[in-house]
Chains A and B, each alone.
Chain A
Amino acid sequence: MADETLDPMVQFLTPEGHYAPSASAEEFLPYFQRLTEADHRKFYRDMVVIRRFDTEATNLQRQGQLALWVPSHGQEGAQVGSGHAAKAQDHIFPAYREHAIGMIRGIDVVDIIRVLRGLSHGGWDPTNPAYNNFHIYTLVIGSQALHATGYGMGINFDGATNTGNTDTDQAVIVYFGDGATSQGDVSEALVFAASYQTPQVFFVQNNHWAISVPVSTQARVPLYKRGEGFGIPGVQVDGNDVFASYAVTAKQLDDARSGKGPSLIEAHTYRIGAHTSSDDPTKYRTDAELESWIARDPITRMEAFLRNSGAPQSFFDEVHQEAADFASDVRRRTIELPNPEPASMFNHVYSDPHPVMDEQSEWLANYEASFDEQGGGH
């Protein structure tokens, strides 16, 4: 495993919540300094709400309401920080665990539930302006890295970046995990991004485990150095420090939109929960390791910082009430979700008319109707 003590990470908050920027944090300091107290509280609020959502979704899965759940517990700092760093015009290509970023970009998180309840393969429409270019999840590991890079090539061809207007210049950010860095598609995306100098950030959430396989099996060199051979600079950040995640991502995206090409961020974090609801992490990792990461939890760290900064108990009470209300609303709406109509499986297989879809949907409709004619149900 990469020895994090050799190359200091960008960090603003210690695990105890004290403000103590690391040496490598210095160049990102202006991005931290522009945050207001309201921003700090917003970051905390988002982390608490999405963790409560994650707990609720895990419970819904245990109760048979979801086919599967993909927990984000523990990775809220990496996600909330970087999610707020992206500008409205940026395009975000997630993997499948970036629930916090989806929420920040404005999707209805029940649409994530729709995917994992077995109602939809996509869940939401990334072209909906209300969703701020948050693309749909990709389950084949790493495939989305190339889509993001191609999108970035298109931004360049359109002249939609590096014009000097940082309020309209576009960038893309693609998320993937430590396991995905072994996929050929991620390496090919790095090649294409470097060749075409896409306005792009590769954001690696190193949560240390690709299901049961440790990051040391994926990489013998720290992942933030993975881009170097491709000509893509990397920076490592304490992913459980929401400020560090925010500041580094904001700067790298600004660099991307100002013609400096692609870069890579490795955010050190940890998947406190299971890979999915089908996984049993007690089979492959130790309690001691888990506890060491719980001690570096992004939410307790931020809570300590806010309390030291004078946030009153009433603020924390309000956030927790809001999270509880959010979760119960999700629960209610999940259970009310209707099943898709059988004929819908023939929809959108093709964009243009297709005779086989017409023929098979008609056959299915007649077949279903034949049971009604027989006076039975099925």
Chain B
Amino acid sequence: MAIENLPLGKAINLGLRQAMLNDPKVILMGEDIGTLGGVFRVTEGLKQEFGADRVLDTPLAESGIVGSAIGLAMRGYRPVVEIQFNGFVYPAFDQITSQLAKLTNRHEGAMQFPVVIRIPYGGHIGAVEHHQESNEAYFLHTAGLRVVSPSNPHDAYWMIQEAIASNDPVIFFEPMSRYWPKADVDTSASNFPLHASRVVRQGNDVTVIGHGAMVSVLLQAAEVAATEGMSLEVIDVRSLSPIDYAPILESVRKTGRCVIAQEAPGNVSLASELAATITEKAFYSLEAPVLRVAGFDTPFPPAKLEAIYLPDSDRVLDAVDRVLSY
């Protein structure tokens, strides 16, 4: 075992570096990712180590970055694209959803498009508009994409490497608010496959489900609940598309109660899909309706209101109380 205590951003940095060492076709593309190392410094030092032909400070044009990454993938490269902030991905929407996602299908399998698109996402950082969105639902709805999101440094280190190794396009949502807290990373082994969901805290009364930064909120809620005699089982979804339902359904069949939490607006979202599928597949185990705790169906508010907008442990526990009172 090789354990390092790292922040999530640095874990991704090391994962990218390892992938670049393993495969000379892995190249990084994005705005300010080279000389500066990215606005979050996730790619710091990589241009210096691998050169300007493998870490590209691209022109400032998201569609251009993703579209040219597609051409590079046709040429046999495995581009890893950084979108600087969540709300800046939309100029690339055609290239991601109509081109990248569908090109393997359009080629009837003759070409593969192993492109990773890294998107820093989520709130809790007090930023201006377009910088704190959780816009994963747009990509979950698109066939041909895989969508994942790590919640902790160990997963981040391994999941970025597994995403790069995937022969399919992967949208990689990085929880910005988790870039800095440190945790142990075992760099000797990955303990879960890319598309596995994972029980991160065992419990018996209510299953609480989330991804990315929300997992920390759920663990905090579980701590509080424990002091009040309630036992929450916490599941980290990890893979938003496809979803690994086996651990989720197993848990819900045990607890009979389920709360799903996310920062994204609830309307037509990951939580909607999870709730529908859990209801379909574990209906006779449920003692209460599956509840969603989500961002409101509004634009992400100005930063001074984000603490109200974003689900916190109190809002999660409020939902836990409601499913337990059925």
Asked if A347 meets B108 with Cβ closer than 8 Å, knowing A152-B71, A154-B72, the reply is yes
B:13-61 near A, CB below 8 Å: 27, 53, 58-59, 61
Residues of B within 8 Å of A347, CB to CB, are 105, 108-109
**Chain B, Cβ-Cβ closest to A115:** B106
Residues of B within 8 Å of A122, CB to CB, are 106-108, 110
A127 in complex: contacting residue of B111, B114, B143, CB < 8 Å: B111
Residues of A within 8 Å of B73, CB to CB, are 150
C-alpha gap A150/B79 in the complex (Å): 11
Q: Report if B207 contacts A (CB, 8 A).
A: no
C-alpha gap A152/B71 in the complex (Å): 8
**Chain B, Cβ-Cβ closest to A125:** B110
B74 touches A147 (CB 8 A): yes
C-alpha gap A120/B108 in the complex (Å): 8
Q: Mark A110-152, 1 if CB is under 8 A from B, else 0.
A: 0000000000111001111000000110101001011111111
Asked if A184 meets B104 with Cβ closer than 8 Å, knowing A150-B69, A154-B76, the reply is no
Residues of A within 8 Å of B95, CB to CB, are 143, 146, 185
Contact residues of A: prevailing secondary structure: helix
Q: Report if B203 contacts A (CB, 8 A).
A: no
C-alpha gap A146/B110 in the complex (Å): 20
Residues of B within 8 Å of A317, CB to CB, are none
- A62 CB to closest chain B CB (Å) equals 27
A:92-122 near B, CB below 8 Å: 120-122
Asked if A136 meets B106 with Cβ closer than 8 Å, knowing A147-B99, A154-B77, the reply is yes
Stretch at the interface among A33-41, A295-303, A352-360: A352-360
Asked if A143 meets B144 with Cβ closer than 8 Å, knowing A152-B71, A157-B53, the reply is no
C-alpha gap A97/B72 in the complex (Å): 24
Q: Report if B220 contacts A (CB, 8 A).
A: no
A153 touches B72 (CB 8 A): yes
A351 touches B167 (CB 8 A): yes
Stretch at the interface among A187-195, A258-266, A273-281, A365-373: A187-195
**Chain A, Cβ-Cβ closest to B69:** A150
Q: Report if A158 contacts B (CB, 8 A).
A: yes
Residues of A within 8 Å of B72, CB to CB, are 150-151, 153-154, 157
Q: Report if A350 contacts B (CB, 8 A).
A: yes
A143 touches B74 (CB 8 A): no
Residues of A within 8 Å of B285, CB to CB, are none
Q: Report if A173 contacts B (CB, 8 A).
A: no
**Chain B, Cβ-Cβ closest to A188:** B64
C-alpha gap A310/B146 in the complex (Å): 62
C-alpha gap A158/B108 in the complex (Å): 26
C-alpha gap A145/B71 in the complex (Å): 9
Q: Report if A348 contacts B (CB, 8 A).
A: yes
**Chain A, Cβ-Cβ closest to B244:** A355
Residues of B within 8 Å of A354, CB to CB, are 168, 242
Residues of B within 8 Å of A153, CB to CB, are 68, 71-72
B107 touches A125 (CB 8 A): yes
B167 touches A352 (CB 8 A): yes
B242 touches A184 (CB 8 A): no
**Chain B, Cβ-Cβ closest to A157:** B53
A150 touches B68 (CB 8 A): yes
A350 in complex: contacting residue of B71, B74, B77, B104, CB < 8 Å: B104
B:164-179 near A, CB below 8 Å: 166-168
Residues of A within 8 Å of B59, CB to CB, are 188, 191-192, 195
- B161 CB to closest chain A CB (Å) equals 15
A191 touches B168 (CB 8 A): no
Q: Report if A86 contacts B (CB, 8 A).
A: no
Additional A-B contacts beyond A125-B110, A127-B110 (19; CB < 8 A): A126-B110, A128-B110, A135-B74, A138-B99, A143-B67, A143-B95, A146-B66, A147-B67, A148-B71, A149-B71, A150-B67, A150-B71, A150-B75, A157-B72, A158-B75, A191-B64, A348-B104, A351-B112, A351-B167
A-B residue pairs, 7 tightest by C-beta:
A150-B71, A146-B67, A154-B75, A150-B68, A188-B64, A348-B109, A351-B167
**Hey, which bits of chain A sit against chain B, CB under 8 A?**
120-122, 125-128, 135-136, 138, 140, 143, 145-155, 157-158, 184-185, 188-189, 191-192, 195, 347-352, 354-356
